[in-house]
């Protein structure tokens, strides 16, 4: 019964795909007017071109370039009125010490030296912010660390302002070289090194482009960045224990989680082995000229324009949709183009953001995730017991990736129910549950001794969390736009995970069922690696003396891949893990489609993303819109993130049993193609549309001992005030309330309000 049930699901999926194909193309043709819905996003073509800043500046001025990704083409100079900046976290400035120097002999001497160096640094207004704490205002968890960050700032401000001339300080990186006034003359004799740490580079080995996953749930959290930045020295064992508890959900409440995060960062910073002195701000520019510029822009708080959200919102002003978007990049594509362990340089990440379509995308102005191609619709997690895993759920076998039945007696901490949108791939085949299943299989097969270390590290959180998965059914979802009806294929998959007390949003991002690639492309890459044609990662390529696998640009590799496709197509090859999920006819169709795609396109980078790779050279890449009506995401899907607005606490009143907040909010006043932001008090709502303009309040209550006594989120409103009800939640004593507000999930650079209060004992 188990095998036939899975095959039945596949047959249902195939019938629904046929229904979708007929309905989607019949309905629009009969409408007789412009369609109300356009899949893919605004530009019909995006050209990515590597340009030095000096060459990009005049092109931006003339609107021959619409935006410049990754740097400031004006080098801090005068910027034309039509050119607008956006800011995101650039990186960190850190100081570390030479273990052979007397300065490194004790914690006290290291900390004192770090404070002296911080006070002696030069200025870089707008580019560098002194901030001696690793969690910054560009992290959503900044509120949870605000009091600790303030203590650190006060300690540095109180330090003697004497020169660091007696310290021999090296500088690494352009910002460090600008800020360190007197550098060590000898490369051998030095006490400390001040260094730029690029934020994207810091996360390069933890963020990933592996098929449909972009990284662990905590990828954008400040505590995680602190863990990667700091060198804890003797505290390593305690730090690792705290880290394991955080990533496995070994805590009993969100309050306990926040306390663990604070303890982790405190342990990391206590010894001053490596000290964060501040952070840098990345400033990127776009042309906003009235007719030739771009608008409707969203960006990521930590990666800026180099993000999925930017490419899914940016719109040319003269085109309601379509148009030709031209973007400049600071560097040429260098990393190999493979979706397993490639696309790892800035140019590659931008390209993958266009052609790939992950399960979830990072929340642009927070630290969570936004549903993209999968949606979590239900979480089952009993408070004191486990969830039973059905016998016919599938479990990938470590080392082989074979999908085994779970059998009797297996349990998990939670069951997550996802709905997937199974749209078309660029080779005109349709996604089925087998594609998502094979992504899980791949993660297990290529980890361990016989696999690739990069794949093993990247998939570790997924493999540690996944207990099993099960195809529940394949739905047909109907959506109506104006007088047009579209029907979509929606597999429903239950995923069983560990994860302790992790919140639902984090659980959802641990192991979502999805694949951005058709399974034949994954098999093709595997066979190429197994047969010595190439390797997934650069490290393995060097170790084995083979090329880094590239699906598009290496002629020799492509010729070998084409020969492999011929061999696999002749066999109608089905990988062992999919024997129960794919028929011989399906396999033959899939391989034939891949052969045809390569013949027409000249590469093997087949995805189900919104853009398809069209042309490329050493300096530029062109992608074109894949306007596939089996994909419900398209023009306007993420417009809610354009023009992010903020909310502020104009007055905070803390009482023993409640917090009362008088908020002010930003509104966008539009006129023609322009807008301006105005700040005003929150008024009374007059319609349903105003509900999105009511801020959300996050709060942290810190006790006199420095521990977190309470924390949470409140949407409660009384007239023009927001209210946090604390009744019965706090013991008698003195407390500090930390409060921040957000509109539409914009938690970047909040103004944190602080209030002291007491809770008295009941009479």
pLDDT at 36: 62
CA atoms within 13 A on the CB side of 672: 6
The CA distances from residue 286 to 305, 350, 396, in Å, are: 10, 16, 46
Shortest CA distance to 115 belongs to which of 143, 156, 161?
156
| Beta carbons of 739 and 661 less than 8 angstroms apart | yes
CATH 3.10.105 in the chain, residues?
A: 93-281
DSSP string, 698-733: EEEEEETTS-EEEEEEE--EETTEEEEE-TTTS-SE
The CA distances from residue 168 to 54, 159, 161, in Å, are: 34, 19, 17
Task: Compute the distance between CA of residue 200 and CA of residue 207 in angstroms, rounded to an integer.
Answer: 9
Shortest CA distance to 249 belongs to which of 217, 203, 274, 226?
217
Q: Where are the beta strands (DSSP E) in 169-238?
A: 169-172, 192-198
Task: Compute the distance between CA of residue 517 and CA of residue 358 in angstroms, rounded to an integer.
Answer: 10
Task: Compute the distance between CA of residue 105 and CA of residue 121 in angstroms, rounded to an integer.
Answer: 23
- Residue in the block written with tokens 């907040």: 661
Burial class (CB in 10 A: 0-12, 13-18, 19+), 100: exposed
CATH 2.60.40 in the chain, residues?
A: 643-759
Task: Compute the distance between CA of residue 659 and CA of residue 29 in angstroms, rounded to an integer.
Answer: 57
* CA 673, chain centre distance (Å): 30
Chain segment 20-45, per-residue pLDDT in tens = 333 333 333 333 345 667 889 999 99
Top CATH class of 643-759 equals mainly beta
- Output the furthest CA–CA distance in the chain (Å, rounded): 85
Burial class (CB in 10 A: 0-12, 13-18, 19+), 410: middle
Q: How many CB atoms lie within 10 A of CB 14?
A: 16
DSSP 400: T
> CA angle 94-248-197, nearest 5°?
15
* CA 259, chain centre distance (Å): 24
Spans of the chain, pLDDT less than 70: 1-36, 161-165, 205, 207-209, 211, 231-232, 684-690
**In the beta sheet, which residues pair with residue 48?**
327, 621
- Residue in the block written with tokens 């001696």: 132
- Give 550-566 as a 3 state SS string: CCCCCHHHHHHHHHHHH
pLDDT at 164: 53
Count of all residues that appear for the chain in the document: 763
Task: Compute the distance between CA of residue 567 and CA of residue 560 in angstroms, rounded to an integer.
Answer: 11
pLDDT at 8: 33
> 434: Cβ–Cβ under 8 A, 6 or more apart, which residues?
10, 519, 578, 581, 582, 586
| Beta carbons of 294 and 287 less than 8 angstroms apart | yes
Correct CATH for 93-281 of 3.10.105, 3.90.930, 2.60.120, 1.10.3470: 3.10.105
Report the relative pairing of strands 696-703 and 733-742 from DSSP bridges. antiparallel
What region does 562 belong to: left with phi over 0, alpha with psi -120 to 50, or beta? alpha
Task: Compute the distance between CA of residue 600 and CA of residue 353 in angstroms, rounded to an integer.
Answer: 23
Query: What's the whole-model pTM score?
Result: 0.92
pLDDT at 162: 55
Shortest CA distance to 211 belongs to which of 337, 339, 374?
339
């Amino acid at each position: 019964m188990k095998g036939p049930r899975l095959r039945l699901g596949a047959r249902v999926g195939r019938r629904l795909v046929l229904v979708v194909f007929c309905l989607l193309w019949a309905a629009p043709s009969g409408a007789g007017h412009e369609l109300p819905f356009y899949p893919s996003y605004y530009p019909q073509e995006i050209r990515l071109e590597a340009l030095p800043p000096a060459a990009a500046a005049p092109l931006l001025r003339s609107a021959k370039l619409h935006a410049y990704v990754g740097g400031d083409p004006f080098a801090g100079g005068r910027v034309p009125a039509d050119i607008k900046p956006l800011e995101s976290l650039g990186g960190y400035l850190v100081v570390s010490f030479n273990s052979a120097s007397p300065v490194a002999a004790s914690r006290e001497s290291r900390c004192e030296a770090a404070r002296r160096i911080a006070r002696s640094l030069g200025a870089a207004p707008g580019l560098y912010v002194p901030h001696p704490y690793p969690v910054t205002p560009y992290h959503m968890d900044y509120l949870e660390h605000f009091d600790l960050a303030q203590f650190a700032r006060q300690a540095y401000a109180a330090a003697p302002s004497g020169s660091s001339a007696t310290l021999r300080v090296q500088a690494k990186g352009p910002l460090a070289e600008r800020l360190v006034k007197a550098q060590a003359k000898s490369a051998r004799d030095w006490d400390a090194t001040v260094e730029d740490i690029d934020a994207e580079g810091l996360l390069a080995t933890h963020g990933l482009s592996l098929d449909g996953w972009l990284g662990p749930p905590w990828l954008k959290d400040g505590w995680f960045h602190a863990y990667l930045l700091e060198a804890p020295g003797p505290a390593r064992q305690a730090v690792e224990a705290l880290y394991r508890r955080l990533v496995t959900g070994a805590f009993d409440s969100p309050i306990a989680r926040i306390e663990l995060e604070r303890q982790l960062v405190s342990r990391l910073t206590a010894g001053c082995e490596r000290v964060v002195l501040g952070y840098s701000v990345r400033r990127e520019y776009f042309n906003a000229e009235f007719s030739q510029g771009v608008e409707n822009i969203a960006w990521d708080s930590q990666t800026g324009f180099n993000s999925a959200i930017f490419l899914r919102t940016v719109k040319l002003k003269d085109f309601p949709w379509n148009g030709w978007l031209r973007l400049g990049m600071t560097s040429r594509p260098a990393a190999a183009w493979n979706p397993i362990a490639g696309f790892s340089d800035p140019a590659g990440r931008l390209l993958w953001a266009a052609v790939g379509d992950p399960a979830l995308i990072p929340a642009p102005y927070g630290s969570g995730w936004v549903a993209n191609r999968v949606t979590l619709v239900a979480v089952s997690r009993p408070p004191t017991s486990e969830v039973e895993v059905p016998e016919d759920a599938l479990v990938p076998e470590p080392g082989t990736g074979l999908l085994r039945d779970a059998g009797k007696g297996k349990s998990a901490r939670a069951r997550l129910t996802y709905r997937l949108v199974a749209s078309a791939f660029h080779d005109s085949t349709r996604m089925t549950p087998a594609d998502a299943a094979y992504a899980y299989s791949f993660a297990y097969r290529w980890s361990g001794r016989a696999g690739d270390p990069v794949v093993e590290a990247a998939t570790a959180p997924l493999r540690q969390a996944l207990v099993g998965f099960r195809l529940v059914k394949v739905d047909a979802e109907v959506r109506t736009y104006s007088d047009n009806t579209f029907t979509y294929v929606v597999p429903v998959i239950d995923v069983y995970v560990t994860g302790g007390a992790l919140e639902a949003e984090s659980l959802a991002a641990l192991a979502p069922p999805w694949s951005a690639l058709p399974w034949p492309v994954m098999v093709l890459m595997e066979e190429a690696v197994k047969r010595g044609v190439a390797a997934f990662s650069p490290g393995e390529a060097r170790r084995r003396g083979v090329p880094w696998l590239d699906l598009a640009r290496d002629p020799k590799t492509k010729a070998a891949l084409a020969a492999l496709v011929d061999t696999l197509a002749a066999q109608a090859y089905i990988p062992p893990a999919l024997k129960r999920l794919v028929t011989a006819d399906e396999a033959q169709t899939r391989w034939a489609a891949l052969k045809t795609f390569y013949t027409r396109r000249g590469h093997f980078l087949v995805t189900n993303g919104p853009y398809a790779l069209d042309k490329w050279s050493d300096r530029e890449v062109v992608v074109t819109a894949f306007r596939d009506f089996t994909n419900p995401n398209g023009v306007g899907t993420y417009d809610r993130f354009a023009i992010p607005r903020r909310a502020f606490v104009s007055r905070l009143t803390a009482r023993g049993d409640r917090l009362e907040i008088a908020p002010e909010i930003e509104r966008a006043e539009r006129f023609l193609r322009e807008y301006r932001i105005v700040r005003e008090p929150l008024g009374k709502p007059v319609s349903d549309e105003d509900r999105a303009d009511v801020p959300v309040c996050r709060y942290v209550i810190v006790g006199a001992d420095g521990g977190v006594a309470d924390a949470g989120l409140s949407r409660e409103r009384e007239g023009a005030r927001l209210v946090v009800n604390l009744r019965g939640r706090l013991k008698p004593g003195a407390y500090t309330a930390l409060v921040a507000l957000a509109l539409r999930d914009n938690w970047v650079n909040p103004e944190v309000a602080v209030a002291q209060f007491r809770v008295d004992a009941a009479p």
